[in-house]
């Protein structure tokens, strides 16, 4: 297996902490995208409300997909990690995720968690996708 690592320059560089924004199995074309959050390139949370964090995490997801020669149409699985009870945030999250995905309908799981990578981080979006042909 050959692995290609993806780290778009517009996103924070996690190399020093042992991660890549995505890895691609070049044999299968599968893309494994790390959880995308509303961080700037210095690892700081940019906003403190669920709607804006969701929108920015979704934008970062698209950035990683494009850097991986893919798009939302090629997402196979999406996991959305939410600080707290997912149901409490559906009204803020669902319209943004639906708008981001368009007609794409990947397998999707929403998971409520006690904490994420920083105390200010409210949402993290992780995906598995396929390289575009």
Contact 34, 67 (CB under 8 A): no
Residue 115 has pLDDT above 90, yes or no: yes
CA distances from 121 to 64, 82, 102, 133 (A): 19, 9, 25, 34
Residue 118 has pLDDT above 90, yes or no: yes
Average pLDDT, stretch 115-119?
A: 95
Residue 1 has pLDDT above 90, yes or no: no
Contact 128, 76 (CB under 8 A): yes
Cα–Cα distance for residue pair 16/67, rounded to 1 Å: 20
Domain that holds residue 70: 3-130
What confidence tier does 51 reach under pLDDT thresholds 50, 70, 90? very high
What confidence tier does 56 reach under pLDDT thresholds 50, 70, 90? very high
Q: How many domains does the chain have?
A: 1
Residue 122 sits in a domain whose CATH number is: 3.30.1330.40
Cα–Cα distance for residue pair 65/89, rounded to 1 Å: 25
pLDDT of residue 101: 98
């Amino acid at each position: 297996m050959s692995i290609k690592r993806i780290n778009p320059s517009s996103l924070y560089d996690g190399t020093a902490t042992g991660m890549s924004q995505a890895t691609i199995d070049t044999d299968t074309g599968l893309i494994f995208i790390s959880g995308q959050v509303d961080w700037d390139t210095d690892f700081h949370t940019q906003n403190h409300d669920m709607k804006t964090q969701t929108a920015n995490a979704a934008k970062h997801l698209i950035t990683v997909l494009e850097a991986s020669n893919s798009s939302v149409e090629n997402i196979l699985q999406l996991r959305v990690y939410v600080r707290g009870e997912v149901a409490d945030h559906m009204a803020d999250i669902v319209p943004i995720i639906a708008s981001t995905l368009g007609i794409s309908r990947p397998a999707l799981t929403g998971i409520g968690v006690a904490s994420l990578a920083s105390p200010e981080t409210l949402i993290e979006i992780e995906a598995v996708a396929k390289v575009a042909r």
